[in-house]
Amino acid sequence: MKKTTMTTPHVTITESAAQDERPLLEIKDLEVSFVTPSGEFKAVTNAHLTIMPGETVAIVGESGSGKSTTALAAIGLLPGSGRVSGGEILLNGEDIAHAPERRMIELRGNTIGMVPQDPMSNLNPVWKIGYQVHETLKANGKPDAPSDVAKVLAEAGLPDAARRAKQYPHEFSGGMRQRALIAIGLSCQPRLLIADEPTSALDVTVQRQILDHLESMTSELGTAVLLITHDLGLAAERADKVVVMYRGNVVESGPSPELLRNPQHPYTKRLVASAPSLASRRIQVAKEQGIESKELLAPAEAVVVEEALAERVLRVENLTKVFKLRSGIGRSTDFTAVDDVSLSVTRGTTTAIVGESGSGKSTVAQMVLSLLRPTSGRIVFDGVDTSTLTTKQLFAFRRRVQPIFQDPYGSLDPMYNIYRTIEEPLRTHRIGDRTSRERKVRELLDQVSLPLSSMQRYPNELSGGQRQRVAIARALALDPEVIICDEAVSALDVLVQAQVLSLLADLQSNLGLTYLFITHDLAVVRQIADYVCVMEKGKLVETGTTDSVFEAPQQDYTKALLNAIPGSRLRLPTEVN
């Protein structure tokens, strides 16, 4: 290996290059353009990156930076009017930037695999999961016996894979659907896997399992990985090189440890400062070195509510939810998704519920929102058992308690533009007139860092992170007292994630808002939550203040979750030898 240096208009970059090995993928001066009613615009300008066989390269950047567009150009799947308007995409030396569709079909699957970001819109809802894996294997000339399908699903981390293969996407949790997509992407053992936010919907332990599997493929099969992620900590821990994109341009790239410890471009420095996984690691290091962790956090992230002033706005008492699952014609079995869970939420604080996919945390949230009826137990909001509410009272309750769901594409009406989406709760609850509602929508868009021009756009015209910001704006429209955040920031890049978390903290401080935060991202929990509830297989196994759970976990399961936080293996500049 030798060191080579290349210079961009922004920064000087040092990276490793193999002297005797040809790149598997080389992108040179890539330009991607889209035609819109208002004219043509360039989504990517002069992008460049190199991936060697068996290497993992991560592209990081905020929503709209061009990272996913660059990856889609490499596999020939640009949406709508998108086209490669300049540059080269060299795969094993072959320029495929303008290759015919027939050639791209030959390459997809066996040579280039793809794991897309949104599991709900990328799985066919009327096909069983196993059939969708079977179709991929069949299309690429691979064995397609039931055992092969089950093996592929098991390798992606799905338990009881043979049974799961016979289920439909709607019978899977969000994390399980994402794992099914990963199984499909890996099924033909491609030489290059493009993974677009492959673990954004997964809890940290399964995330580690999947990423460990990708690393195993890299070392054993020589498979290269192009990882698209907004988590810089994850990128730095898992990738050999990191490429940073900003507004369609590559502004910095280089070996992961070097870029993390010595970022040169101002935007990269902001990413390092905003990454929640790195912030969590900094807090851990500070604790070990006797530094007060609050000194490492923004003021809004260090809000502490005194227990003595606490008022329990929400109580969950012995909550249980049992589902009937079909086990054959005329037969069913009971599945206990939530098992005798009790917890309380203090007004003006953030309580996080964490756990693996299928642990029951989202089911608890749906029962709190009165979207699911408990099998037993009760939910008390502001002193009233919600099961006793009349239709009129339930309508008033929904104004006071608002949700932000995990899947922004599934929770937004594709036929509504963004203005109508955010304005709808105001009209439904007969708040204000047309002028005041428009003013409120403008204020909300500004709060979630979306331009006013987005009001007339539709969900399919926005990135995943932008759609989630719209969902957050809609939840804030009614000025609720309690917000149930179900993976509310999982789809956001780290800078916007930091803005939204800061916004939520500011609103909480100013308005006394209460948050029930459902998440698999313990790094975010460390920053925003006052209390943590850990769930495993439907049961509540550990509760406590955030500091007590993170610093002195009592259960092995909690310890495993904490050890799986991305970036936990990194050494930061604040650490001393």
Give the pLDDT confidence of 364-423 residue by residue, as tens digits: 999 999 999 999 999 999 889 999 999 999 999 999 999 988 777 778 898 999 999 999
Q: How many CB atoms lie within 10 A of CB 563?
A: 13
542-552 confidence digits (pLDDT tens):
999 998 898 88
Average the pLDDT over 294-302 and give the result: 37
Average pLDDT over residues 160-180: 87
SS3 76: coil
pLDDT score for 455: 92
Whole-angstrom distance, CA of residue 226 vs CA of residue 105: 19
Average pLDDT of 529-544? 93
- In the block, tokens 């137990």 appear at 377
* Full DSSP string of 289-323: TT--GGGGS-GGGG----GGG--EEEEEEEEEEEE
Are 277 and 566 a contacting pair, CB within 8 Å?
A: yes
Question: Running DSSP on this structure, what letter comes out for residue 463?
Answer: -
Tell me the average pLDDT across 235-260: 90
CB 321 within 8 A of CB 338: yes
List, in order, residues 6 or more apart from 355 with CB less than 8 Å away: 203, 361, 520, 534, 535, 536, 561
What average pLDDT does the structure give for the chain? 82
Site of tokens 């008033």 = 396
Q: Using a pLDDT cut of 90, give the percent of the chain over it.
A: 41
Residue 309 has pLDDT above 60, yes or no: no
Q: Please compute the mean of the pLDDT values over residues 139-156 and round it to a whole number.
A: 80
Residue 515's CB is within 10 A of a number of other CB atoms, namely 24
Q: What is the pLDDT of residues 250-272, one digit of tens each?
A: 999 999 888 888 889 988 888 88
Cβ count near 289 (within 10 Å): 10
Residue 377 DSSP SS3: strand
pLDDT at 17 over 70: no
Q: What is the DSSP letter of 570?
A: P
Within 10 A of 319 (CB to CB), how many other CB atoms are there?
24
Backbone angles phi, psi at 536, to 5 degrees: -140, 120
3 vs 16: CA distance, rounded Å: 5
Nearest alpha carbon to residue 386 among 408, 362, 369, 364 = 369
What is the C-alpha separation between 284 and 142, in angstroms, rounded? 47
Q: In angstroms, how far is CA 409 from the centroid of its own chain? A: 13
Residue 113 backbone dihedrals phi, psi, to 5 degrees: -100, 165
Residues making up the chain, counted from first to last: 577
32/45 Cα distance (integer angstroms): 7
Task: Specify the range with the lowest mean pLDDT, choosing from 15-24, 111-120, 147-156, 284-293.
Answer: 284-293
Q: Is the pLDDT of residue 532 over 80?
A: yes
pLDDT, tens digit (0-9, with 9 covering 90-100), for 322-374: 998 876 676 778 899 999 999 999 888 999 999 887 889 989 999 999 999 99
| pLDDT tens-place string over residues 364-374 | 999 999 999 99
* 177 pLDDT more than 90: no
| Across 137-148, average pLDDT | 76
What pLDDT is attached to residue 568?
A: 63
Q: Is the pLDDT of residue 557 over 80?
A: yes
Whether the pLDDT of residue 301 is over 50: the answer is no
Asked whether residue 49 carries a pLDDT value surpassing 90, the answer given is yes
Question: Higher pLDDT residue, 432 or 221?
Answer: 432
Range with the largest mean pLDDT of 126-140, 308-322, 463-477: 126-140
Q: Are 104 and 76 in contact (CB under 8 A)?
A: yes
All structural domains of the chain, each given as residue ranges with its CATH number in brackets, are 1-111+191-198+224-273 (3.40.50.300), 301-563 (3.40.50.300)
Region 547-575 average pLDDT: 78
